[in-house]
Amino acid sequence: MADSWLPSLITETPEDGFQLAVKMSRMGVKTTQPDTEVLHRLRPEYAEDANSLTAASQVVALNFQTVATANNYWR
């Protein structure tokens, strides 16, 4: 399992958990659209679109909720 990018949802701190949530979100996009040329071509369209940025923030928040739950909210 050493080659896995996600060996565990357990993190030391909430900040580490947030960084993991961001990584999970980015990997979701990469998995959904594996063609990096397409990703880079589309980036200018969503990078300045408030709705797209809000949607991306919602995905990160959902992933952070998942990580926080897995970590028993760091208690």
d(CA 15, CA 42): 29
pTM above 0.75, yes or no: yes
Check pLDDT > 80 for residue 4: yes
Confidence of residue 3 (pLDDT cuts 50, 70, 90): confident
Q: What is the mean pLDDT of residues 14-20?
A: 98
